[in-house]
Structure 1
C-alpha cells in the first residue's frame, strides 16, 4: 500500500488541475449536457492525468540522485527509497501501455495528440526546460494540446479563439512561475533551475505586460464574435478579476511558483472561476 501511495504522489495529483482544459471543447461547443460526449471527455481527462503522471515518474527516476541532495525533493518517494527504481519502472511500463492502448481504442486522433503531448513533455523535462523562452512556450503548447485533445475526442470544430486564449493564459502562468522562482532564488532559496540565470526581472516584466494585455484582448474579441456576443461580454470582468487576483497573489503572497496550489487554495479566485463557468453555461445553453 505504501508503494502505491508513493507512486501516486510521484504522478503529482496536484498538477492534474491543468488537464481540466480538456473540457473547454465540450463546454464551448454546446455539448456539455450530451451524456455520451461528457463521458468521453471525463475518460480523456483521466487519461491525460495518467500521461502527465508518467512523465513525472520518468523525471523522478532520472533525477533521483540529484533530488537526494535537495532539501525538499529528497522526500519524493523514489529519491527517498520508499519506491524502488524497479518498482517505478515496472509500474511505468504498465501505465504507459494501458493508457495509450485505451486512448487508441477510443479515438485515433486523440491517441496521436496524447502521444505527441507525452513526447513533447518528456523532451521538455530533459532538454527544452534548459532553453530560454522555449521553456515557457513549450508549457503553453502543452496546454494547447490538452485543448485539442478534448476537441478531437468529441469530434467538434476547433475554435481558434479557444487555442489562442489557452496559449496566452498558460504563458501568463508560466512567466509568473519563472518570476516567482527568480525572486525565491534571489532571497537565498536553493533552486535546480539553471535556466533562471537567462532571465532578468525586467525581461519577465516586459513579457508579462504583453501577455497579460493580449490575454484580456483575445478573450474580449472572442466574446465579441461568439454567439450571444453582447451577453457574453458580461463575462469579461470575471476574466480581468481572475488575472488581477492571480497577480495580487503572486506579488503579495509569493505563491507564483506553484500555480496549481493557487487554483486549489485561493477562495476568491476559486469563486471567480466558478462564477465565470456558470455564467458561460447559462449564456451558451439557456439564453
Structure 2
C-alpha cells in the first residue's frame, strides 16, 4: 500500500507539473514589458507604482496563459507533427482537453478579477488583448504579414497596460520601438518555421505559404536598420534630452546595436530563432548585453548630474 501511495503521489506531482507547463509560465517574461513605462519615466524607485504594475503583470500573465491554452487546444493536431511542439502537454496526451478548458477558464476569470481591481481602463486593455488574440487564433494567424503584425501589436498593448497600471503616460517613441522590436522577433520566428518546412516538407502554419527566405531575410534587415535609427533618433531628440536632463543617452545605442547583431547572428548563422523566449533564457551574450543596456540607461536617467564621460 505504501508503495502504491508513493506511485500515486508521483503521478499527482507529474500531472500538476504538466498543467503548470500548459500555462507556459516561462513565457510570462514577455509581460515584463509592462514595467518599461515605469523604467523610462524614472519611477523604478517608486514602490507604490511597482506594486501596481506587479498586480497588472499577474493579470496579463493569466490572460496570456488562457490564450496559450486556447491555441494549444485549437492546434493540437498540427502540433503533433512539429519537432518541438509535439512534446507539449496537450499534443503529447499528458493533459486532457477538458482539463485544459477548465484551466483556461480559471486563468481567464482570474485575469478579469485582478484587472478590475486595478481599473476599468486596465480591464479594457486586457480585454482588447484577449479579443485580438482570439481572432488571431481563429483565422487571422493564417494570413501572412497580418499574423506577425498582430503578434507585435500585443506587445504595444502590454506597454499601454503598464502605463495605465502605473498612471504614467507612454510616449510615441516607446510605442514605435517596442512594436519594431516585437516585429523583428516575429519575423525571425516565421523564418525559423520556413527552415523547419525545408527540412521536414511540412507546413507548421498556413500563413507560411505567403513567405519565403528571401522575403524574410530582407524584412529582417529592413526592420533591424529601422530599429537602430529610431532608437538613436529617440536618444538624440530634444524632448527626451529635456525630460531626462541629459544628452548622453545615445551612448546606450552601442548595446542596442550589439543586441540586434547577436539576434541576427542567432537567426542567420545558428539558424535557431524559433523561440525568442528560449533565446533570452539561454544566450549569455544577449543576457549580458541587455543587462549592460539596463544599467547604462538606469545610470544616465537616474544620475544625470554625474558627468564621468566629460573631458
TM-score bracket, shorter-length normalisation: over 0.9
Select the residue among 63, 78, 84 that pairs with 1:51: 63
Select the residue among 267, 280, 285 that pairs with 2:284: 267
Contact 1:14–1:260 (Cα < 8 Å) also in 2: yes
Contact 2:65–2:107 (Cα < 8 Å) also in 1: no
Query: How much does 1:61 deviate?
Result: 2.1
What's the TM-score, normalizing by structure 2? 0.87
Contact 1:124–1:138 (Cα < 8 Å) also in 2: yes
**Aligned residue for 2:8?**
none
Query: How much does 1:68 deviate?
Result: 4.1
Select the residue among 181, 193, 209 that pairs with 1:181: 193
Closer, same or farther: CA 208–68 of 1 in aligned 2, 3 Å:
closer
**Aligned residue for 1:249?**
266
Contact 1:2–1:82 (Cα < 8 Å) also in 2: no
Select the residue among 12, 28, 32 that pairs with 2:44: 32
Give the Cα–Cα distance (whole angstroms) in 2 for the partners of residues 136 and 18 of structure 1.
16
Select the residue among 42, 58, 76 that pairs with 2:54: 42
**Aligned residue for 2:295?**
278
Closer, same or farther: CA 37–51 of 1 in aligned 2, 3 Å:
same
**Aligned residue for 1:230?**
247
Give the Cα–Cα distance (whole angstroms) in 2 for the partners of residues 136 and 111 of structure 1.
24
Give the Cα–Cα distance (whole angstroms) in 2 for the partners of residues 243 and 73 of structure 1.
26
Give the Cα–Cα distance (whole angstroms) in 2 for the partners of residues 82 and 209 of structure 1.
40
Q: Does 1:117 align with 2:134?
A: no
**Aligned residue for 2:5?**
none
Query: How much does 1:70 deviate?
Result: 4.8
Select the residue among 66, 73, 83 that pairs with 1:61: 73
Provide structure 2 residue ranges, at least 5 long, that are not aligned to the other structure.
1-12, 305-311
Bigger mean CA offset, 240-249 vs 201-210: 201-210
Structure 2 counterparts to residues 1-287 of structure 1, below 5 A: 1-68=13-80, 70=82, 72-188=84-200, 190-225=202-237, 226=240, 227-287=244-304
Query: How much does 1:7 deviate?
Result: 1.8
- Across the two proteins, how many residue pairs are aligned to each other? 287
Closer, same or farther: CA 242–67 of 1 in aligned 2, 3 Å:
closer
Give the Cα–Cα distance (whole angstroms) in 2 for the partners of residues 276 and 53 of structure 1.
29
Give the Cα–Cα distance (whole angstroms) in 2 for the partners of residues 89 and 205 of structure 1.
38
Radius of gyration: which is bigger?
2
Provide structure 1 residue ranges, at least 5 long, that are not aligned to the other structure.
none
Give the Cα–Cα distance (whole angstroms) in 2 for the partners of residues 61 and 170 of structure 1.
25
Give the Cα–Cα distance (whole angstroms) in 2 for the partners of residues 204 and 63 of structure 1.
24
Give the Cα–Cα distance (whole angstroms) in 2 for the partners of residues 266 and 229 of structure 1.
32
User: Which runs of at least 4 in structure 1 moved beyond 6 Å after TM superposition?
Assistant: none
Give the Cα–Cα distance (whole angstroms) in 1 for the partners of residues 118 and 228 of structure 2.
35
Query: How much does 1:9 deviate?
Result: 0.9
The two structures, once aligned, show a CA RMSD in angstroms of: 1.7
Q: Deviations over 1:52-100 (max 9, x none)?
A: 1111111222333444455543432223332222222222222211211
Closer, same or farther: CA 183–73 of 1 in aligned 2, 3 Å:
closer
